[in-house]
Chains A and B, each alone.
Chain A
Amino acid sequence: MNKIYDYLIIGAGPAGMAGAIEASKAALSVLVLDQASSAGGQIYRNLGQTKPQQAFVLGNDYLAGRPLLAEFMAANCDYKPQAQVWHIETHEQGFIVSALINGESTTYVASHLLLAHGAMERPMAIPGWHKPGVMTAGAGQILLKSSGLLPKEVILAGSGPLLLLLAQQYRAGGVTIKALLDTTPKANYWRALPWLVAGLTTPKQLIKGLWLTLAQRIKVPYITGVSDLQITGEHSACGVRYTVAGTVHNIACEVIMLHQGLISETQMGQLLGCSQRWSDVKQCWHTQVGAAGQTSVAKIQVAGDAGAVGGGYVAQLQGRIAGLTRAHNAGKIQTRQSKVRLIWLKLRVKQLNWAQGLVERLYQPAKWLSKPSGCTIVCRCEQVSAATITSIASAGCAGVNQLKGFTRAGMGPCQGRQCGLNMGYLVANAQNRPMSKVQPLSVRPPLSPISLGQLAKGTDW
């Protein structure tokens, strides 16, 4: 029989690392499984191996992850990189977690789980987004962090802080930014204005954000009020076409990076039966998470962007809260000092999440971007167009899960991660239903593809 861990953490980003640090300090046996080859998550990807030139371009916020990373690497916990969790089963002693490591399926048993697998980028289904040359802004930043690669010239399009940060980093790296096409609807500025009060509670971040926005507006060809964005080029991207105030423009460029914010990854929570909630503000589904990271299922906690997108710092605090709470509940720490610390951490997260309300409203995705139409590909894996999905939704299809059966949308290897949200929007639009009433795609194991050979190699029956 396998060793039974007290705490199994999925993901080694800021939330997972912090959770592991706190729980292992309290002498719990901790195992961290992470998909990447080194710890840090996407925000601190490759931080441990970063070269000086990369550090210069990526900036201080990236390097600020170093103490956390060092603390994690020194923590007394088991850590498995390049471990792709493909299934979790409930078991009388807790959970059996199956992960693919080095081409072999391995199982681990744990009494408690912390899901800290982070977020993904909101799919931006515009015409031609599936063509070579188009990638996400997050992808651009990961290429820079992990490989030190920069595009020679690029168009950045969409909205959100990451797009602005990437523009800043690319400028520092000498990349020619041919245009930054901002799709943020003008109405968002008015909607966000009252939330400036919330933003003022974190003045440092507010000033940083304003500075980042202003600097890009001055230093790159910054075009606001962009709509009807599409990728031009037949087999691969040759440029973009867009509309500003009724006038159509074209810009040529072979690398285009899209971004419209982040959404929580919900697949693991859904698989485990944790209840899900639609957020109108965040415009995405997320697992319902309490102040101590608890979910609707006993012994499962969620921390960081996996529960609700709040950024790296909030994720770290939530990870600490989750780990400390686990240690308290296990009776490993009972000091007054740690109880006070826990209360303080929770208050700080509350405040930061409130301040986050400003960013959420300011960068809410444009409505036209959630209504792909015509031959725009919605499901990239199975090549299903928006028109196909809309016609079936209009014919009275019961929801996205039935739509999947009719069209194969959501059946490909990404398992609906890239198309699920837009399928939901199209059903909601066609049937005049609120998104909260259109159930998300159901999740089944395996969470990521695994071959029979890999499965057989790891069995010990």
Chain B
Amino acid sequence: MTDSLFSCLIENPLQCTVVVNNVEHQVPAQLSVAGALLYLGHRQVRQHSVSGEARAPFCHMGVCFECLVTINKGQQQRACLQQVMPNMRIDTVTKELTQ
């Protein structure tokens, strides 16, 4: 995690608590899970199962499957298709199941 490359233009947004990789964060409530990860400064959300290279959300419309993360223990969820919910647990994937 580093400084975020993205900012939220909505002033005083409603906040929502999410738990990303076991750490609690406050994020604007209207964010998608993929949006929340970018907002919090995650440059990558998973490692590629074949090459091990870092990957990040790409299409944000459910086509590319690059943003697969674990949401509330459900594996391989597309982060771009879900909105953050209070106390949602989001885990980025550093080691894929196939390994």
Contact = CB atoms under 8 A, between A and B. Distances in A.
Interface of A: 35-37, 42, 46, 49, 51, 53-54, 57, 82, 84, 103, 120-121, 130-136, 138-139, 142-144, 146-153, 173, 235-236, 254-255, 380-383, 412-414, 417-418, 448-449
Contact of B54 (A149, A235, A380): A235
Interface of B: 5-11, 13, 28, 30-32, 35-36, 38-39, 43-44, 48, 50-51, 53-66, 68, 74, 76, 80-83
Contacts of B60: 135-136, 138-139, 142-143, 146
B7 A149 contact: yes
A148 B65 contact: no
A81 B59 CA distance: 20
Contact of A139 (B31, B59, B82): B59
Nearest to B68: A413
Contacts of A135: 56-60
Contacts of A51: 10, 13, 30
A150 B6 contact: yes
A38 to B, nearest CB: 9
A449 B66 CA distance: 13
A135 B59 CA distance: 6
Contact of B59 (A121, A147, A148, A412): A121
Leading 7 A-B pairs by shortest Cβ distance: A147-B35, A132-B56, A139-B60, A413-B65, A148-B10, A142-B60, A383-B50
Contact of B61 (A103, A120, A173, A380): A120
Name the residue among A134, A139, A254 with the largest chain B CB count within 10 angstroms: A139
A152 B65 contact: no
A449 B5 contact: no
B64 A149 contact: no
A132 B57 CA distance: 8
Contacts of A82: 81
Given A132-B56, A148-B9, 11 more contacts: A37-B82, A136-B58, A142-B80, A143-B60, A146-B32, A147-B28, A151-B5, A255-B5, A255-B6, A383-B51, A417-B64
Nearest to A49: B30
A383 B87 CA distance: 35
Nearest to A153: B5
B27 to A, nearest CB: 9
Contacts of B76: 413, 449
A54 B50 CA distance: 39
Contact of B83 (A37, A148, A173): A37
Given A235-B54, A382-B50, A143 B35 contact: yes
A206 B81 CA distance: 34
Chain B, interface SS category: loop
B56 to A, nearest CB: 4
B4 to A, nearest CB: 8
Contacts of B44: 132, 236
A306 to B, nearest CB: 13
A412 B44 CA distance: 19
Contacts of B56: 132-135, 236
A86 to B, nearest CB: 12
B35 A132 contact: no
Contacts of A121: 59, 63
A102 to B, nearest CB: 11
B63 A414 contact: yes
A35 B81 contact: yes
Nearest to A41: B61
Given A51-B30, A151-B6, A142 B61 contact: yes
A148 B30 contact: yes
A308 to B, nearest CB: 18
A57 B8 CA distance: 12
A258 B85 CA distance: 30
A146 B30 contact: yes
Contact of A414 (B28, B65, B83): B65
Nearest to A381: B65
A42 B61 contact: yes
Contacts of B81: 35-37, 82
Nearest to B74: A103
A138 B64 contact: no
A152 to B, nearest CB: 6
